[in-house]
Structure 1
Amino acid sequence: MTKKHWLTCSMAAFALLLPSCSSASDTDTAYVPAPETLTEIEQGQVTGVRDDEIGVVGWFGIPFAEPPVGELRWRAPRPAAPLTEALSATEPTKACLQINSPQILPGEEGELVGDEDCLYLNIWAPAAKADAPRPVMVWVHGGGNATGFAGQSDFGRLAAREGVIVVALNYRLGPMGWFSHEALRQTAETELDRSMNFGLLDLIEGLKWVNVNVSNFGGDPERITLFGESAGGFNTAALMMSPLTEGLFDGAIIQSAGFSTYTLEEAETGPKTENDRRGASSSEALVLLREKGEIASNIPDNGATLAKLLRGLRASAIFDAYLGLTESDVTEGQIGNIDSTADGVVLPFPELDNAGNDLRIASRDIPLIIGTNRDETRVYALENPAFTNKYLGVFFQPKDRDAYIASGEYPSRLWASLGVHKIAEIRSQKLTAPTYTYRFDWDEQGKYMFTDFSLLIGAMHSIDVNFLSGDFRLAWLDDKMFFKPATESSRRALSHDMMAFWGAFARSLPGGELKGVTVADWPAWSEGQKTLVLDTKADGGIRTESLRDTPEQIIAEFVSDPRFLNDKQRCEIAGVMKLIAQSQSYPTDRFDELADQFCEA
């Protein structure tokens, strides 16, 4: 399993519950068509919807680029064509091609869903008119760059409560969004076509659209915050490193993500050794396509003939090839493709030294919020027999409570150390724009039947998105499994506090000095290396703490921690820590040494 794909809604059985995996058909808002929302955009006119209870209007499914199909497959996105008539923008579930889990989109588990024609965006705006242009927040969804869509989270409450315009962008996923081959470069029509980061180029095109059009929706193009969680955060970080985005956004928020990229060699031909493998390369996929007869044996490995054939292949054949190369569970939607790559175009770093990415992130002098959840990785141990027993095929019980908690503690702390505190320190030394760090701690799920969710998952990866959106519905399952009536008041209070901080940041641009947040003071990292902890009053409330760890400290404590019952448990967690190190562009030698120490040959 590859680094980013593991850091998504593919983790164990509770992938079905993750908030960033809300069903396309689930909504607790009551949007109705609203002809009075008729708005002029560069392409023509659009009408949207409204929700009077929340006090928000929306426009869902606006095209921001030409459909990337046929000859435009694996090319940079082209600007959207003019509309021939007013567009009824009421469909929030347009999605790019992906292997489905039913909690994400309607359809059977494991089938190919979505469409290649998928470059659409959604907009939420307060219904009340404002005297001045409103700050703009552009959301990049998560899902391992293999699943998800712009309408997966409903940001109507954030828009209405904080007086901001929220825009969510689709982008090509999986091998449709990231694919590298010489034949495609040879047939490039523009310099950007020579890229292989087509998903990132989609986001760039979306940002260009926002800069041109958002003022028509009441937004201020001089105050644009790019924010994303998980893979969306990885993509936000990548766009901060790209010279192509200069001037397109004014601040960024990176939630539970990292900064690593692939080399072009990895993306195109594979890793130098299997121990270095982080994903399936395009050349390996082409070998399988030839074996399956999708590409004739007499077609050369480069040139216009192969490029034309690739652009004409059935999309299902391409996805099937990647599925044949990965050990990932098809039901999780993760297919093991390589994504953000130093391709010399979007990320122009020849012979990229991955360890330099944290320095490159400091080259963009804009305000930044960056953080993680306290228990990002605890769910890894859920279905791991080294840590849990499974009853009746459904219920999980830790073999030892303390060992189970320790299993998630060390990788999660390492994630914060490398992916948050290290970045904040580098930026505070090199830049003038402020960096703010946070940790999200909510873990009050409690028990449901025989399962203690507070213990099993805690403040897990992506649960913060529920609080940022204010939408506490769960796909498929009873909402009360996680979000019980008894916690409604405290959850809403924490959700409102989180929105207040994010909204204040958006309003603070371009300077980024947080003012007027009545919840609590949040000093920049340069003012004492303090991290904002987001939690309910019952668990200590909103506060700032000194949380910085070094990797050396974390490893030393891990090795000597008596809570682990045996070396098998330490071996398992050493492997998770290596994945975290890879995701943060940190050398993995020390974690290989831990594997040698604790894992059986």
Structure 2
Amino acid sequence: MRHIWLGVLGALAVSACTGSAEQRPPEPLEATLRTVEQGELIGFQHSPGAWAWRGVPFAAAPEGDLRWRAPRPAPAFNGRFEALDHPEPCPQFTSALQASSGVTPGQLVGSEDCLRLDVYAPEGASADNADRPVMVWIHGGANVWGFAGQYDGAQLAKDQDVVVVAIQYRLGPLGFFAHDAIRNDAADPRDAAANFALLDQIAALEWVRENAARFGGDAGNVTIFGESAGGHNVAGLLASPLASGLFHRAIIQSGSFDSVSWEAAAGAEPGQSNTSDEIALRIAGDGYNAAALRSADLETVFNAYRGEDGAPFLNLPRMIEDGVTIPRDGLANAFASPDTFNAVPVITGTNRDEMKLFNLFSADLVKRYFGVILISRDAAFYDAISDYQSRVWRILAVDQSASLMQSGGHGDVWAYRFDWDEQGRALFVMDLSHLLGAAHAIEIPFVFNHFDFFGRLDGAMFNNNNASGREALAAAMGAYWAEFARTGEPGTGGPTNLPYWERWDEGGVLMRFDSPDDNGQERIAGTDSFERLEADLAADTRFDDAQRCMIFEAMAAWRPRGSLDAMGQRLGCG
């Protein structure tokens, strides 16, 4: 269930970018000419005060014999490379949510020649003034959707005087595949991995280390940040020994610390669907070997993830404990000691109403009229079930992870909660403040200070009525994020004199983000836990037993099988 709905963000953003991909590329600007390892490349004037270079290769195309191998160095440019347009996405299935934009759902799109990145810098940034923090963005989308072109880093770069890099990486089965045939055919120790997506991200960081100065960035001051699956990947890079020294701060926005054993991902242990063993049989039949898997055409690989009705399966093992990119004893366990992860300063946080983005599309909770008007069936119950589910996300992404790091001796940890919910009404009757509120991914436009993000929803969510408040909130979040990137502490957001953001401690200290009309940025304290969640649900007099069990099942659907069985039994829902 979780993996299906984590694609909502990717689908919305893809639809937002469908039209822009058809626009004529901008004109190259001679002042942006740079020489990198592969040769000369030239960018363009993105907007007043900002330059951009788009679609820059950071590794060779991982296709043919390079499929399911660690990325290899990018080849030299054939002449001057014009970095004027976003790269083609990595292979992925289109979503049913793109149908309204004229995109047929369930279609395979993208190219294996996708290991590319976009760079944004303030106008005039160059090797002569290469002292800016570099902020490397890792997109979300359940690790099966998404691409660099969803995110425009120009305003963040200009506002905060930083260099922003948005990277792409292999997705779905090409990014995560634990198979002995692949491991045994390794030509390099890194080829024996299963998280090829993490290897791509590491290769991108290596490219940044070698080339950041050309764009005005300090390669000795790199921050990785990402949301949802991107936040999960940030956690993976924090735990990966292969990423040591490649970054110096990390921001996890609505991330995860889950991982899957190699055995479960391969199919030797129960509990996972679409394991690599069964997928390999679908791709190449009996008697296959690594060469047969690598030589299969792209459609055959992805069609192995379709059901009998042709609909794609979106659930597959991800963040695999391969002993190469991720320790064999699990992702979360790495954070118990600064000696077992890349212990740089960390910010981790969630949105107050994470689950409303997914519950919005539940027919059990929301009625749909004329295909476009959405109204909750029971407003109070919709808020309540979303709140309990969203608390699960916070417990896992903030309370447990921050406390684990802090108790293990790593004190440079900060936490936040994003609360903005001022969307108001759309089409007079659809209350977006209630239906979405501070939902999953809503904070991204505020971090980038770029509100062209959710496609057709943008005009409804980001309107004249909330303009002044959201602009103030965006300025504050950008200042905190950039100050953290610059110094390793969010502090007061640099010279802006915002409230001081304190470190996490055993009592729980978070910075709450909201507009000035709702108290702006303020310190909140306290922790949450599964014990407290269970006690609150058991004592909640708003629900009958059936509703209480419905809430429990909604929470349990987002956790590994069996992890909340005892809670369910105590609540009478076993």
What TM-score, normalized to structure 2?
Answer: 0.91
Q: Is the Cα–Cα contact under 8 Å of residues 120 and 154 in structure 2 kept in the other structure?
A: yes
Aligned to 1:50: 45
Matched, 1:35 2:33: no
Q: Distance in 2 between matches of 1:340 and 1:144?
A: 11
Displacement of 1:131 in angstroms is 4.4
Q: Is the Cα–Cα contact under 8 Å of residues 420 and 513 in structure 2 kept in the other structure?
A: yes
Q: Which amino acid aligns with 1:269?
A: G
Aligned to 1:292: none
Structure 1: 5+ residue stretches without partners? 290-294
Matched, 1:116 2:112: yes
Displacement of 1:249 in angstroms is 0.4
Aligned to 2:296: 313
Residue range with higher mean Cα deviation, 164-173 or 513-522 = 513-522
Displacement of 1:568 in angstroms is 3.9
Q: 2:316 aligns with which of 337, 351, 367?
A: 337
Q: Distance in 2 between matches of 1:209 and 1:428?
A: 32
Q: Is the Cα–Cα contact under 8 Å of residues 20 and 142 in structure 1 kept in the other structure?
A: no
- CA RMSD of superposed structures (Å): 2.8
Displacement of 1:517 in angstroms is 4.4
Higher relative contact order (CA 8 A, sep 6+): 1
Give 1:102-501 correspondences, 5 Å limit: 103=98, 107-129=103-125, 131=129, 133-269=131-267, 271-272=269-270, 276-277=271-272, 279-289=273-283, 295-297=284-286, 300-301=287-288, 306-324=289-307, 330=312, 335-349=314-328, 352=329, 356-359=333-336, 363-449=341-427, 450-477=429-456, 479-501=458-480
Q: Is the Cα–Cα contact under 8 Å of residues 355 and 390 in structure 2 kept in the other structure?
A: yes
Aligned to 1:598: 573
Displacement of 1:151 in angstroms is 1.8
Q: Distance in 1 between matches of 2:81 and 2:513?
A: 41
Displacement of 1:474 in angstroms is 4.6
Give 1:17-28 correspondences, 5 Å limit: 17=12, 22-26=16-20
Q: 2:550 aligns with which of 557, 563, 572?
A: 572
Displacement of 1:478 in angstroms is 5.4
SS in 2 for 1:363: coil
Aligned to 1:94: 88
Q: Distance in 2 between matches of 1:73 and 1:179?
A: 11
Displacement of 1:16 in angstroms is 5.5
SS in 2 for 1:459: coil
Displacement of 1:107 in angstroms is 4.6
Q: Distance in 1 between matches of 2:551 and 2:4?
A: 14
Q: Which amino acid aligns with 1:135?
A: P
Q: Distance in 1 between matches of 2:357 and 2:136?
A: 29
Residue range with higher mean Cα deviation, 538-547 or 159-168 = 538-547
Residue range with higher mean Cα deviation, 496-505 or 426-435 = 426-435
SS in 1 for 2:136: strand
- Against the structure 1 CA distance between its residues 513 and 426, is the aligned structure 2 distance closer, same or farther, given a 3 Å change threshold? farther
Q: Is the Cα–Cα contact under 8 Å of residues 62 and 71 in structure 2 kept in the other structure?
A: yes
Q: Distance in 1 between matches of 2:292 and 2:109?
A: 22
Residue range with higher mean Cα deviation, 311-320 or 571-580 = 571-580
Matched, 1:79 2:73: yes
Q: Distance in 1 between matches of 2:337 and 2:302?
A: 33
- Against the structure 1 CA distance between its residues 20 and 227, is the aligned structure 2 distance closer, same or farther, given a 3 Å change threshold? farther
Q: Is the Cα–Cα contact under 8 Å of residues 64 and 206 in structure 1 kept in the other structure?
A: yes
- Against the structure 1 CA distance between its residues 208 and 7, is the aligned structure 2 distance closer, same or farther, given a 3 Å change threshold? farther
Residue range with higher mean Cα deviation, 567-576 or 118-127 = 567-576
Q: Is the Cα–Cα contact under 8 Å of residues 469 and 515 in structure 2 kept in the other structure?
A: yes
Structure 2: 5+ residue stretches without partners? none
Displacement of 1:21 in angstroms is 6.6
SS in 1 for 2:8: coil
Matched, 1:587 2:566: no
Q: Distance in 2 between matches of 1:438 and 1:7?
A: 23
Displacement of 1:103 in angstroms is 4.8
- Against the structure 1 CA distance between its residues 560 and 432, is the aligned structure 2 distance closer, same or farther, given a 3 Å change threshold? closer
Give 1:532-543 correspondences, 5 Å limit: 532-543=511-522
* 1:518-562 deviations in Å (ceiling 9; x for gaps): 222111113963200110012221111014112111111122223
Q: 2:539 aligns with which of 560, 570, 578?
A: 560
Q: Is the Cα–Cα contact under 8 Å of residues 259 and 330 in structure 2 kept in the other structure?
A: no
Q: Which amino acid aligns with 1:44?
A: G
Q: Is the Cα–Cα contact under 8 Å of residues 270 and 280 in structure 1 kept in the other structure?
A: no
Q: Distance in 1 between matches of 2:206 and 2:191?
A: 17
Q: Is the Cα–Cα contact under 8 Å of residues 451 and 462 in structure 2 kept in the other structure?
A: yes
